[in-house]
Chains A and B, each alone.
Chain A
Amino acid sequence: MFYRETGQFKTSYGADQQIFPIRQDRIAIGLLLVFAFFVVPAVATQYWFSAILIPFLIFSLAALGLNILTGYAGQLSLGSAAFMAVGAFGAYNFILRVPEIPAILAFLMGGVCAAGVGILFGLPSLRIKGFYLAVATLAAQFFVVWALTKFGWFSNYSSSGVISSQDFSVFGFAIDSPVRKYLLTLSIVAIMGLLAKNMARSNTGRSWMAVRDMDVAAEVIGIPLMKTKLLAFAVSSFYCGVAGALVAYCYLGTVEPDYFTLDLSFRILFMVIIGGVGTILGSFFGAAFIVLLPIFLNIVLHPLFAILGIEISSAVVSNMELMVFGGLIIFFLAVEPHGLARLWQIGKEKLRIWPFPH
């Protein structure tokens, strides 16, 4: 009843091409941002910031990065964690070696380093596609972790390549508390999310999708395949790199190369698949699903058994968490292979005509 676009006429192409053409959507996203920036910092606890909200935002950014490459440009990659590692170690080295560099700039430069590595490992995409390309990006995954461990210079010769993030400040504010780290992460993710959406709806995004859907036709209408694919690798790796820098500086504080394993790459890929391939929103849904659901299950299952009066060891409970988690992944993929973003879209379409069936 309240979600209607009746009476909202578009009188210019500009108005028709807005990100949120429906007024109710604009109000909702505005409220969500106000809530995230002002209400959450006032009410959330330290645990919420460091264990739930910050990782959710950071992995949303990483998933967004992979979604640009895999979802929009159609290039399968298993190297996301490696690009995150490059971003983390890049930012660390910039702050270490150029002490007067602003932290934000160092994060961005970490992203730029990741973009460079991404372009390098994206070169095989000019010849190979699909699963074969995924295998080629595995090389990035193993090589980067190996190089960061092997060459002490990257971690300033600390033992086993661990880096500890330096204290840093942004615009004169020392980022030393979970609230501030949360606000910094949220700002970066919000801005980069907007930029990604803008790319997706302009010629850049259309070129990516054209290469994904039909590369011969794309070439024939004048899209340069090499440039388009490498740009996708660069932008995607940049996003992953900034996410990696945020892992080091806003989430964990200390990281080692072995944190950025193939396992992490797979988790990011699952976020993209479950959230919705080729959608910006889906990256956030996917990250929420993968990051939040295990925590939610953990919170729910223990009291559930307590209420039922069943004595079960915590090891069994954590295994059950995994089983339920896996089951839910299969359930959601079976119900909607296009991911949670599509479910959301279908829900919105239903709501538009509610209470009528069509």
Chain B
Amino acid sequence: MSERKIGEVILDLQNISLRFGGVKALTDISFDVREHEVRAIIGPNGAGKSSMLNVINGVYHPQEGTIIFRGEKRHEMEANAAAKAGFARTFQNIALFKGMSVLDNLMTGRNLKIKTNFIQQALWWGPARKEELEQRRKVEEVIDFLEIEHIRKTPVGRLPYGLQKRVELGRALAAEPQILLLDEPMAGMNVEEKQDMCRFILDVNDQFGTTIVLIEHDMGVVMDISDRVVVLDYGKKIGDGTPDEVRNNEEVIKAYLGTQH
């Protein structure tokens, strides 16, 4: 772990506010993410953690605030542009393509790498075929990495929950992202599945240098694998720092023990 080089700030969120009608989901939140680090977002239910991820990759558009990604300043992200810029994510409730096989799900993750058009693909000739095989080779690397060779032709709808979570991670990895956003990657898993998932996340971070932003409720996991933690409560930032700093932060303790506001 210690040899890992944490780089410069790659993503900087400044004064983000998001409202749905009268509901304030996020209020004036600022934090940054450094290259190659594992950054966790924690907080009680309804704190705005998922909304934060949705703002980062353009599913939601904040009313106020600035997002600076690799020095480029913008008011909001578009989901498509975010994907092109190298963001990939998983969802809290698994958002796999249920009717498709594991292999097809992962291949879909690579759609941005495909350059041929639908006519070439319909004719299945030359470049289209070559490209398809090329993507397949890359996808097989991900399949190998996540140890899901045995289920590659299985429709994802038939897989148990833990494996679906792993396939969803695979689909995000297939895109070769620079920043990986994970929304509760370990929710609902048993201890062994959690261990596997932690191992995969750390390996991704280690081997590919991928920056990881993750939301997680299991405090043991969060404190173990993340470099820095930001804590949200009722849409406000109440803590930010290394796991140790956060653990001893008064406000964080209050929020988690449910003291009156």
A contact set with B: CB distance below 8 Å? 13-14, 17, 195-196, 198-199, 202-204, 206-207, 209-210, 212-214, 216-224, 231, 235, 278
Contact = CB atoms under 8 A, between A and B. Distances in A.
B1 interface: no
Contacts of A207: 108, 111
B97 A220 contact: no
14 contacts: A196-B122, A199-B121, A199-B122, A202-B122, A203-B116, A203-B132, A209-B97, A213-B98, A214-B98, A217-B95, A218-B97, A219-B59, A222-B112, A278-B99
B246 interface: no
B90 to A, nearest CB: 9
B80 interface: yes
Nearest to A223: B111
Interface residues of B, number: 40
Contacts of A216: 59, 95
B83 A198 contact: no
A223 B107 CA distance: 12
Nearest to B78: A219
Given A206-B100, A207-B108, A210-B97, A221 B88 contact: yes
Nearest to B157: A213
Contacts, number: 100
A349 to B, nearest CB: 13
B86 to A, nearest CB: 10
Interface string B68-107: 0000000000011011100011010001111110001001
Contact of A221 (B83, B124, B137): B83
Nearest to A71: B99
B136 A17 contact: yes
Interface string B26-70: 000000000000000000000000000000011100000000000
9 closest Cβ pairs, A-B complex = A222-B83, A217-B95, A202-B121, A213-B97, A198-B124, A195-B122, A204-B118, A222-B112, A13-B136
A13 B143 CA distance: 14
Contacts of A204: 118, 121-122
Contacts of B97: 209-210, 212-214, 217-218
A213 B80 contact: no
A280 to B, nearest CB: 12
B191 interface: no
B59 A235 contact: no
Contacts of A214: 95-98
A203 B114 contact: yes
Interface of B: 57-59, 79-80, 82-84, 88-89, 91, 95-100, 104, 107-109, 111-112, 114, 116, 118, 121-124, 128-129, 132-133, 136-137, 140, 171-172, 175
Nearest to B84: A222
Contact of A202 (B80, B95, B124): B124
Nearest to A222: B83
Given A195-B122, A216-B95, A202 B128 contact: yes
A81 to B, nearest CB: 24
A220 B180 CA distance: 12
Nearest to B107: A206
A213 B104 CA distance: 12
Contact of B109 (A195, A212, A221, A224): A221
A81 B51 CA distance: 44
Nearest to B97: A213
Nearest to B171: A221
B104 A221 contact: no
B123 to A, nearest CB: 7
A17 B133 contact: yes
Given A195-B122, A198-B122, A220-B59, A209 B112 contact: no
A339 to B, nearest CB: 13
Contacts of A235: 118
Given A202-B128, A203-B111, A13 B104 contact: no
A222 B110 CA distance: 9
Contacts of B100: 206, 209-210, 213
A202 B132 contact: yes
Contact of B118 (A199, A218, A224): A199
Contacts of A202: 121-122, 124, 128, 132
A227 B241 CA distance: 43
B104 A209 contact: yes
B88 to A, nearest CB: 7
A221 B96 contact: no
A220 B91 CA distance: 10
Contacts of B133: 13-14, 17
Nearest to A19: B124
A222 B121 contact: no
Given A203-B108, A220-B79, 11 more contacts: A198-B122, A198-B123, A199-B118, A206-B111, A212-B99, A213-B96, A213-B97, A218-B108, A221-B175, A222-B111, A222-B112
Most buried by B among A13, A213, A216, A221: A221
